[in-house]
Chain A
Amino acid sequence: MSVTAYERVKSARGSRRPTGISYIRGIFTDFFELHGDRAFADDGAIVGGVARLEGRPVTVIAIEKGRGTKDRMRRNFGAPNPEGYRKALRLMKQAEKFRRPVVCFIDTSGAYCGIGAEERGQGAAIAENLMQMSALNTPIISVLVGEGGSGGALALAVADRVWMLENAVYSVISPEGCASILWKDSTKAEEAAENLKLTASDALALGVIERMIPEDDIGEPQFYERLRALLSSELDALAGESDLVRKRYERFRRIGVPNQNKEAE
């Protein structure tokens, strides 16, 4: 219980954590990667394709930070460009067409901050995903497995169920960025991390996620088995739900509804 918020941040960023592709390999079978956004490029920071989960066809999408210097550069250290989000949306629309569920694994410090990213509409790409995912007529489960960096993470997390690993973090801004903006002092990141309420248990308490997943055995075969079983039973449950899109709307609709009593003050 003595783990501080900032220690969780450092843990989430740890280079020995499994990255996106590890989850695809560990949990699914028959993965076939599908590349490109059909408009500009194939973004290495986002990996997606079709696969099976205990026999069931699914679309799986993961943000991949990469392993080793060369791969990490190719993956842009897991910071997607607009074409990455557009590829993800293309695959989600494809999943809707062929009536299979979508599973996303999220691990990013944030959407890439670059000149090209702005020229190609980073904001517009994220906005489009938020809009389209909110009405996608097929079940979506998103799992934050490492860093959940702001809009760049949310762009794959407008889902029916959002889960977090115990040491994953989910935040509107990095603690360092927050500290330097608010207090002109990036060394106050620890204080910022506490204030931002960015841990999995905070997110659970705020109603932003449905489940926190213990990770003592992270990366072990039984860890992936456990995740597979959780995903499989949840997809079974979601497959039987009616009004999926309406319920997803309500899920986000109720977050941050101001306390009505405050109005009277």
Chain B
Amino acid sequence: MPFLKFRYQPKNELEEGGRSAEPVPQEESEPEQTCPNCHKSIPISALRANMNVCSCGHHFRMSARQRIAMTADEGSFCELDGSLRSSDPLMFSGYQEKLRASEQSTGENEGVVCGECRIDGNPCCIFVMEPGFMMGSMGSVVGEKITRLFEHALERRLPVIGCTVSGGARMQEGLLSLMQMAKTSAAVKRHGDAGLLYIVLLTDPTTGGVTASFAMEGDIILAEPNATVGFAGARVIEQTTRKHLPKGFQRAEFLLEHGFVDAIVPRSEQRAALSLLLSIHSEGGVI
């Protein structure tokens, strides 16, 4: 399967923009997936049953809806602003086509899904980015939906859980995308200043303008094992510095070592971790 093989070349995936680096498994056409770590073929159904994690521990990417289903209490998720769609404000060549292709391949209107839910009974707001939608890149709608979610959470006095996966700011909306970094950060700040909790879960990959804004602004920052998280792309750094990058560079474990992540939490333990952290913060302090 040459196409699948291509999709696992990490040097290209972020640059593809329109193409999802990792497929949302489709039962009909792809009954098996090959693990990029242990190279075993795994039936899709087995992978799904194990939260998209290979028996070797490799965490495959997952769609926003899959992640919500895995994280939220059954039937508790109530979506917000799901109908917002991007226009093409700069009339950037080829952008409309990419939007339509992403809509078709993911069934989503944009690169982030937002809403309210409960996790083990704890009420919260949640946003989950969608890797299949132009690699979760942030344009005006992604910025707007996340901003609205923080404003909604502030009004309702709810904590926010954010699962990030993104190639960064979306080039096709130029400066308007860049400004979303400031807009979302300001909303995070307001929410936080009101004494409310924001937990980030960094997933593979989280880079560029998203790393340089709301992905790094959590009170608590968790990461999935081996997730790539960084500001600049590895290839750009190699070209700029003409240095060989150290092993494990920009992986979750590297961030933990350098003090930028609170904990690495495998998928099987995420729900319990979020539940615990939410409940500790829901009880109020003793002073």
Q: Is A138 an interface residue (CB 8 A)?
A: no
Interchain CB contact (< 8 A) of B182 among A120, A124, A134: A134
- Chain B residues lying within 8 Å of A172, measured Cβ to Cβ, are 169-171, 173-175, 177-178, 209
Residues of B within 8 A of A121 (CB): 216, 258-260
Q: Does B92 contact A (CB under 8 A)?
A: yes
User: Considering the chains assembled together, what is the distance between the CA atoms of A105 and B86 in angstroms?
Assistant: 33
How many residues from B make CB contacts under 8 Å with A?
Answer: 67
Whether the Cβ atoms of B183 and A255 lie closer than 8 Å is yes
Cβ of A249 < 8 Å from any Cβ of B? yes
> Does A115 belong to the interface (CB within 8 Å)?
yes
Is B211 an interface position by the 8 A CB rule? yes
| CB proximity of B273 to chain A, nearest CB, Å | 21
- Taking the complex as formed, is B189 at the interface, i.e. its CB lies under 8 A from any CB of chain A? yes
Do B181 and A154 touch (CB < 8 A)? yes
**Could you tell me the distance between the alpha carbons of A258 and B83 in the complex, rounded to whole angstroms?**
11
State the CA gap A262–B99 with chains docked (Å).
14
Scan A113-126; emit 1 where CB is below 8 A from any B CB, else 0.
Answer: 11101111111101
Contact residue among B217, B246, B259 (Cβ-Cβ distance under 8 Å from A127): B217
Q: Are B212 and A173 in contact (CB under 8 A)?
A: no
A interface, size bucket? 35 or more
Known contacts A151-B178, A256-B140, A258-B140: A134-B84 contact under CB 8 Å: no
**Which one, A114, A170, A191, A255, contacts B237 given CB within 8 A?**
A114
In the complex, the answer to whether B216 meets A124 with C-beta atoms within 8 Å is yes
Residue among A130, A208, A258 making CB contact with B181, cutoff 8 Å: A130
Q: Which residues of A177-225 are within 8 A (CB) of B?
A: 177-178, 181-182, 191, 195-198, 202-203, 206, 208
Does A243 reach chain B (CB closer than 8 Å)?
no
Closest to B218 in A: A127
Q: Which of A130, A198, A256 is in CB contact (< 8 Å) with B144?
A: A256
Contacts of A202 in B (CB 8 A): 175
Which residue from B180, B188, B246 sits with its C-beta under 8 Å from A256? B180
Q: A113-B232, A121-B260, A258-B144 are in contact. Are A203 and B182 (CB under 8 A)?
A: no
Contact string against B for A residues 76-118, beta-carbon threshold 8 Å, 1 for contact and 0 otherwise: 0000000000000000000000000000000000011111011
> Would B185 and A258 count as touching, CB distance under 8 A?
no
Q: Measured between alpha carbons, how far is A198 from B179 in the docked complex, in Å? A: 13
Taking CB as reference atom, which chain B residue is nearest A257?
B144
Q: Which residues of B contact A (CB under 8 A)?
A: 15, 17, 83-87, 89-90, 92-94, 139-141, 143-144, 147, 169-183, 185-190, 193, 208-209, 211-217, 229-233, 236-237, 240-241, 243, 245-246, 249-250, 254, 258-260
23 pairs from A and B in contact (CB 8 Å cutoff): A111-B232, A114-B241, A118-B237, A126-B212, A134-B189, A150-B178, A151-B209, A151-B231, A154-B179, A158-B182, A170-B175, A171-B178, A172-B171, A172-B175, A172-B178, A173-B169, A181-B17, A182-B17, A249-B190, A253-B147, A255-B180, A256-B173, A259-B87
Q: Which 6 A-B pairs have the closest CB atoms?
A: A256-B140, A123-B211, A134-B186, A130-B185, A113-B232, A123-B231
Q: A206-B175, A252-B186 are in contact. List 13 more A-B contacts (CB 8 A).
A: A113-B240, A124-B260, A127-B211, A127-B212, A134-B186, A157-B182, A181-B17, A197-B175, A208-B179, A252-B179, A255-B179, A256-B143, A256-B183
